[in-house]
């Protein structure tokens, strides 16, 4: 895990060598074009960053690492084996955050709207919802349970 992190950080610093700071997101995208981080194009990672200007190389590395973490939380980047437990907890927290205040029961279609953009182990949440064996859920706890059962079913069928 540490070796891969050093790999992309070293490559970023190498490509930015000699650049005058501050730099913009667009300049960052140009200088890092073609680079992938954990299998994801760097442009997608940079699009996750909420600032438009970077004052130092340290800022660049910090914001890229933060963006990678966001993508991991949403399931768009696989998480290394040692971090899987916390990933499941973060995923559940994100699901609960997105349905907070909703009037239950929620149908599959309503769930797809509220959870759009989430991924479980790289699978769009819509596919996990489609695999649920119920048409609606009565509570947030039942939602998490049904998602868990559906995800396990997809894993066992080899779709994950």
Ordered by start, the domain boundaries in the chain are 2-73, 83-156
Predicted local confidence at residue 56, as pLDDT: 87
CA 134, 139, 142, 146 dihedral sign is positive
Q: What's the pTM value of the predicted model, to 2 decimals?
A: 0.51
Q: How far apart are CA 113 and CA 116, in angstroms?
A: 5
Predicted local confidence at residue 128, as pLDDT: 93
Predicted local confidence at residue 83, as pLDDT: 47
Q: Work out the burial of residue 50: count CB atoms within 10 Å of its CB; fewer than 13 is exposed, 13-18 middle, 19 or more buried.
A: exposed
Integer CA distances (angstroms), 101 to 21, 24, 27, 98, 142, in order: 44, 38, 41, 9, 15
Integer CA distances (angstroms), 95 to 21, 30, 87, 107, in order: 39, 35, 12, 15
Predicted local confidence at residue 55, as pLDDT: 92
pLDDT tens by residue, the chain, 160 residues: 333 444 688 788 889 988 999 999 999 999 999 999 888 899 999 999 999 999 988 889 889 988 988 888 777 876 654 444 445 656 777 888 889 889 999 999 999 999 998 887 778 899 999 999 999 999 887 898 898 889 888 888 876 6
Q: How far apart are CA 24 and CA 113, in angstroms?
A: 33
**Which of 10, 90, 91, 76 has its CA nearest to residue 38?**
76
CB 133 within 8 A of CB 148: no
* Residues linked to residue 65 through DSSP beta bridges, in sequence order: none
Q: How far apart are CA 35 and CA 122, in angstroms?
A: 20
């Amino acid at each position: 895990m540490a070796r891969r992190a050093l790999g992309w950080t070293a490559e970023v610093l190498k490509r930015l060598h000699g650049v005058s700071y501050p730099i913009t997101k667009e300049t960052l995208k140009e200088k890092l074009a073609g680079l992938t981080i954990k299998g994801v194009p760097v442009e997608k990672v940079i699009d996750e960053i909420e600032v438009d200007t970077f004052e130092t190389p340290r800022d660049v590395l910090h914001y890229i690492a933060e963006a990678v973490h966001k993508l991991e939380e949403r399931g768009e980047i696989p998480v290394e084996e040692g971090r899987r437990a916390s990933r499941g907890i973060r995923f559940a927290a994100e699901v609960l955050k997105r349905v907070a205040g909703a009037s239950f029961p929620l149908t599959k279609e309503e769930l797809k709207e509220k959870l759009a953009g989430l991924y479980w182990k790289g699978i769009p949440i819509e596919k996990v919802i489609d695999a649920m064996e119920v048409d609606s859920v009565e509570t947030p706890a039942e939602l998490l349970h049904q998602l868990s059962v559906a995800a396990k079913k997809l894993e066992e069928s080899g779709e994950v």
